[in-house]
Amino acid sequence: MSDLQITQSANSYQQTVARLERELANRGLNVFARIDHAANARTVGLRMPATIVVTFGSRLTGIPLMIHTPDLALDLPLRVLIRQTDHGVELVSTDPTALLERYGLPPASAAPLTGIKTIITAAAGSRP
């Protein structure tokens, strides 16, 4: 069973990336990195569809979770993959429920992780 959740976007690739970053900013979350895999592929003469990974989070909520559960640092900061496919644009992330189960975190710790679903839904939302 995959612990990935895939959400189809109603928007173009560029719009989806912009909507995700706007949603993160509106929530006061830090963007720690943007990894543009398609751009990296071009540097070595390869082509791939538009693909970016955005890593983000909150130091105020992520660090205490990692202090309590050090192995969680493998999955934090949270990340979202946005990719162009033949069928449109997809947002892919790790299901936060899977993270809770993987690390044996109590449900009270879920809020900083489960908010990703709301963020993705907003980024994938209907066309403006």
Total-model pTM:
0.91
d(CA 93, CA 3) in angstroms, rounded, equals: 9
Q: For 65-77, write each residue's pLDDT tens digit.
A: 999 999 999 999 9
Summarize the confidence of residues 21-34 as an average pLDDT. 96
Residue for token digits 């979350």?
29
Angle ∠(26,126,56) on CA atoms, nearest 5: 35
How large a percentage of the chain has pLDDT more than 90? Answer: 79
Q: For 91-125, write each residue's pLDDT tens digit.
A: 999 998 888 889 988 877 777 888 899 999 999 99
* 99 contacts 75 by C-beta, under 8 angstroms: yes
Tell me the domain boundaries of the chain. Answer: 4-124
Q: Which CATH architecture has domain 4-124?
A: 2-Layer Sandwich (3.30)
pLDDT at 127: 47
Residue for token digits 């993705």?
120
d(CA 34, CA 95) in angstroms, rounded, equals: 20
pLDDT at 106: 83
How large a percentage of the chain has pLDDT more than 70? Answer: 97
CB-count burial class (<10 Å; 0-12, 13-18, 19+) for 9: buried
pLDDT at 33: 97
Summarize the confidence of residues 18-29 as an average pLDDT. 96
